[in-house]
Amino acid sequence: MVLGAVGKRAARSLACFTRSSFSMFSGIAALLSLAMATFTQEPQLCLSHLSQRGSLLMSTLKHLLSPSFLHHLSQTPYGAEFLPVVAVSVCQLLCFPFALDVDADLLVGILADLRDSEVAANLLQVCCHYLPLSQVELPISLLTRLALMDPTALNQFVNTVAASPRAIIPFLSVVLLSDLPLLTSDLLSLLAHTARVLSPSHLSFIQELLAGSDESYRPLRSLLGHPENSVRARTYGLLGHLLQHSMALRGALQSQAGLLNLLLLGLGDEDPAVRRSASFAVGNAAYQAGPLGPALAAAVPSMTQLLGDPQAGIRRNAVSALGNLGPEGLGEELLQCQVPQRLLEMACGDPQLNVKEAALVALRSLRQEPCIHQVLVSLGASEKLALLSLGNQLLPHSSPRPASARHCRKLIHLLRPTHNT
């Protein structure tokens, strides 16, 4: 009860400031510190305040992040001293709902309250204009969490960048190339989610970030060679999503010396998360690769090696990537690495159903190449797949039928010897 009363008094006190004075701002900082200490001991108390629509605490915290208040504080003689303390303390309090086991309906309400006040946009403005780089890690982490959970918050982030690109893009560039791996990783996650969810028309600023001001792609090169596994993995993941849309990035892989080699280097990375993201990126680069296609011949040996990776997700990415490479005129390279044989073995015997299905889809794509079609027929692929299909049919009626059965039947028909050209 005492802690609850302290929390309520702190919330009321936070809202009561009208004069710009050292004592007032030091009081705000002290009350925020008191609220943080109180809610650390009683985290559910913080949650009860933040989950009340229009609560005094939530209204106060949102006001402390508002552009009008931050501008006012920055203009005072004490702004440089108190503004970072206030902003970071507010972010710490707003992080409580995401650190607790919160009822889904309560969390939806909290997100709606933050969305209506454009807290995501305010966080970006705080980081860009008012905080030193050493103190933006928590606000960027909170911004990333909000954007991942709420499409409106993601749009607020993108719209804020679009409204003030000359200020915000240089700031984001500094964050990407900082020596703070957690900060860089969070921003990469935010950018990857942006590329995954939004239309290509919203992604030009990400291309600009990776290319750098001189379009040498120095930032991207640095991130691909970063010593931290998480940074490399998230960079490859971002590339994978961008390569689904960006012709400029495909062109850069073709024209920028050494850039494609850096992309392919991730296929042999010692960290499985990096290998998984890199195989995803190369697979998307291979899909309708166009002029980039011939250069991707260098990916075939490494991608073939990943077919034996212990992680099913990596095997599946590798299978899909190799299936994408067949239509790009790389049939001979695929045969040299015995890719048709390997894919047929995986279609029939991989322990993971989604990998088997990916192998069947890849074989359907590759059999369009006459040289590969001939090899598959000579391997008796139709008969082997018929046995696989029969095994599926013999499953108990109560068992779900594998989705791969449809691909199996189509391949059996396509790979009959009479179809050999």
Q: Which pLDDT tens digit goes with each residue over 216-263?
A: 999 999 999 999 999 999 999 999 999 988 888 999 999 999 999 999
Residue 389 neighbours by CB distance under 10 Å: 19
| Residue 170 binned pLDDT confidence (cut-offs 50, 70, 90) | very high
Confidence at 418, pLDDT banded by 50, 70, 90: very low
pLDDT at 400 over 50: no
d(CA 362, CA 321): 8
Q: Can you give the residue ranges of every domain in the chain?
A: 331-391+403-420
> For 267-309, what is each residue's pLDDT tens digit?
999 999 999 999 999 999 998 788 899 999 999 999 999 999 9
pLDDT digits (tens, 9 = 90+) for 126-165: 999 999 999 999 999 999 999 999 999 999 999 999 999 9
What is the rounded distance in angstroms from the CA atom of residue 342 to the CA atom of residue 309? 13
* pLDDT at residue 335 in the model: 95
What pLDDT score was predicted for residue 73? 86
Q: How confident is the model at residue 388 (pLDDT cuts 50, 70, 90)?
A: low
Share of the chain above pLDDT 70, in %: 86
* pLDDT of 352 strictly over 80: yes
CB 56 within 8 A of CB 11: yes
Q: What's the rounded Cα separation, in Å, for the pair 405 and 421?
A: 26
- pLDDT class for 421, splitting at 50, 70, 90? very low
Residue 270 three-state SS: coil
Pick the closest to residue 378 from 389, 367, 390 (CA basis).
367
Instruction: Give 421 or 4, the one with higher predicted confidence.
Output: 4
Tell me the pLDDT tens digit for each residue of 31-62. 888 888 888 888 888 888 888 877 888 888 99
Q: What is the pLDDT of residue 416?
A: 53
The token duo for 129 is 């204009």
| Sequence-separated contacts (24+) of 386-390 with Cβ below 8 Å | 386/412, 387/348, 388/347, 388/348
pLDDT at res. 146: 96
At 7 the pLDDT is 44
CA distance linking residue 147 with residue 154, whole number of Å: 4
- Which pLDDT score is estimated for 406? 58
User: What does the block give as tokens for 113?
Assistant: 């309250």
Backbone torsions φ then ψ of 284, nearest 5 degrees: -75, -30
CA atoms within 13 A on the CB side of 203: 24
pLDDT of 265 strictly over 50: yes
Task: Output the average pLDDT for the chain.
Answer: 86
At residue 264 the predicted structure's pLDDT band, cuts being 50, 70 and 90, is very high
| C-alpha–C-alpha distance, residues 325 and 289, integer Å | 8
Task: Determine the pLDDT at residue 56.
Answer: 85
Decide if pLDDT at 395 tops 90. Answer: no
Residues above pLDDT 90, as percent of the chain: 59
Does position 397 have pLDDT exceeding 90, yes or no? no
pLDDT of residue 35: 87
Note every long-range contact of 282-286, with CB atoms under 8 Å and residues 24 or more positions apart, other chains counting.
282/321, 283/240, 283/317, 283/318, 283/320, 283/321, 283/324, 284/240, 284/241, 284/243, 284/244, 285/243, 285/250, 285/253, 286/321, 286/324, 286/325, 286/328
Give the pLDDT band (50/70/90) at residue 412: low
Alpha carbon separation from 88 to 76, 84, 85, 151, 266 (Å, rounded)? 18, 6, 6, 24, 36
